[in-house]
Amino acid sequence: MRADFLNAANTPLQHKNKILVTGGSLGAQVLDEVVPIAISEMKNKKIFVTHQTRPENVDKLQKFYAEHKIRANVLSFIHDMAGSISEADLVIGRSGANTVIELETIGRPAILVPLGINPDQAANAASFVKLVGGFAVQQDKFTAKWLTNTLDDLFDNPVRLDKMSQKACVKNLAVSKISDTITE
């Protein structure tokens, strides 16, 4: 785990209605299709979205968010992922191993949509859900209606987001365990 994530570990939520959407290094088309529609249908229009996507989708998503008067930063690459996660009140993304470990290190609630053809992502998402830090949704069940209802519920209940954040946080002891093993 990189130092910037360890330095952001257990950062409390700021409750600024920020959502981070990340589909990993290649983006995720399902997130690009579902998330903007869901956010546009939310009751709370004071949401700020940081949406990482494929380079070819940046302009289209920027236009959609602007037309729906949603404050958004759409980009193809996030240089400071630790900062972006720690500033978010909720993360929506895939469930690759790095993503889940980063969420657990910082302690962020998340809605995870595992890549259907990757059983490892499903297992990662299931492990995260056991912490009660978020939700895992199969891609075919990840609809705008479901997401709108879930987002409305979460952002209407900041105490629930706080509890999810606390439960999502897992102290990263990898370095100390390795060090202890070496010195034994």
**Closest C-alpha to 147, from 120, 117, 99, 110:** 110
Q: Which residues partner with 73 through β-bridges?
A: 50
Residue-wise pLDDT tens digits, 110-121: 999 998 878 999
The helix (run of H) or strand (run of E) holding residue 102 is helix 97-106
What pLDDT is attached to residue 177?
55
> Averaged over 64-87, what is the pLDDT?
96
As for how many domains the chain has, the answer is 1
In degrees, rounded to 5, the angle at the alpha carbon of residue 76 between the alpha carbons of residues 73 and 144 is 65
Q: In terms of residue numbers, what domain contains 152?
A: 3-183
Q: Which residues partner with 52 through β-bridges?
A: 22, 75
Q: 24: domain CATH number?
A: 3.40.50.2000
pLDDT at residue 43 tops 60: yes
What pLDDT is attached to residue 171?
78
**Closest C-alpha to 145, from 56, 42, 61:** 42
